[in-house]
Amino acid sequence: MKYRKIGNTPLELSVITFGAWAAGGWMWGSTDRNEAVRAIQAGFEHGVTSIDTAPIYGQGTSEEIVGQAIKAMPRDQVQVVTKYGMRWDLNKGQFGFKSQDNSGKEIDIYKYAGKESIIYECEQSLKRLGTDYIDLYQIHWPDETTPIHETMEAVSSLIQAGKVRYAGVCNYSAAQVKEADEILHIASNQIPFSMVKRDAELETIPYCIKHGKSVLAYSPLERGLLTGKITENYRFAEGDHRATHRFFSPEWVRRTNTFLNRIKPLANDKNVTLSQLVLGWTIQHPGITIALAGARNADQSVSNALSASVFLTDEEVQLINSELEVLHGAR
């Protein structure tokens, strides 16, 4: 496993960080707590010391699972990364969308990052995680109803209180990162980035490179699309958000699988899976500090961890990038 510093802080995260969204079950159909715990612990045994979660993932379920998993780990060897700013239990702030919790109950999701809400959320996260501090605390989505300075001042108070070590953001534009950074040092920006979703290369990633901000890439396997295991007639479990996601339309699946079949010989030559090749490409991509990879079980988690050792030459990267140009130009 490789480890990289986050921004100009002393905090180091494993280049493959365990993404615990699916572990919470919400929007993924279901979850098996025991399998999820074993997945996190198996990753740790292979060097995945960093775990990214959020209160909204299963409305506390994911954080509880992470908390259960890290009980068996030395706390000073684990980096807990979580978020704030998405409320399902408070109708305040910017309305996000309607959803259902894991029991099927209708819930409204709000983006809210007011000071009192952040303080409350932090306390709840600490309880669920079973720890007294969070290594990297990130706003989950921008909240248009709360001034950025109020949000960052709240996080600053949590840092001063010793409950948070460092501050990050998620899904922020370059302008929003700049504004937040004027109040509180921002170490990182967690953004969606994958072989099929690369719009962040236009502005956000260049800004982060220029200003020393780490980029935490989420959904680098594009929710499983880039594993090669999704077919045009794939049937998703009830409640799985991918069923209506544009990247899982028959056309996109077909196009993506054509691309994956063209780079599979490279994966075979290196004796790695397509997923490992994709994750290896991601963590070698300019400006990408770490890749968040989810896993439903221990085998998937170990496979993700091993992708940190995949090395691509400049020629191999160019080969993949050339095939990606064909994919994005296809109709």
Collapse the DSSP code of 98 into the 3-class scheme (helix H, G, I; strand E, B; otherwise coil) and give the result: strand
Collapse the DSSP code of 39 into the 3-class scheme (helix H, G, I; strand E, B; otherwise coil) and give the result: helix
Catalytic, 57? Answer yes
The residues near 32 (Cβ < 8 Å, ≥ 6 apart) are 296
Q: Is the dihedral of CA 36, 41, 43, 44 positive or negative?
A: positive
Helix (H) or strand (E) holding 287: none
DSSP state of 137: E
| Residues 242 and 215: beta-carbon distance below 8 Å | no
Cα–Cα distance measured from residue 213 to residue 289, given in angstroms and rounded to the nearest whole number: 9
Nearest to 124 by CA among 22, 55, 33, 25: 55
Catalytic residue of the set 57, 84, 112, 166:
57
Q: Which amino acid is at 88?
A: W
Rounded to a whole number of angstroms, the CA Rg of the chain reads 19
Strand 214-218 and strand 94-100: pairing? unpaired
Cα–Cα distance measured from residue 42 to residue 191, given in angstroms and rounded to the nearest whole number: 26
| Residues 297 and 31: beta-carbon distance below 8 Å | no
CB count within 10 Å of CB 299 equals 12
| Residues 22 and 54: beta-carbon distance below 8 Å | no
Cα–Cα distance measured from residue 150 to residue 159, given in angstroms and rounded to the nearest whole number: 15
Cα–Cα distance measured from residue 248 to residue 170, given in angstroms and rounded to the nearest whole number: 24
Per-residue DSSP letters for 208-244?
A: HHHTT-EEEEE-TTGGGGGGT---TT--PPTTBGGGG
- Residues classed as catalytic: 57
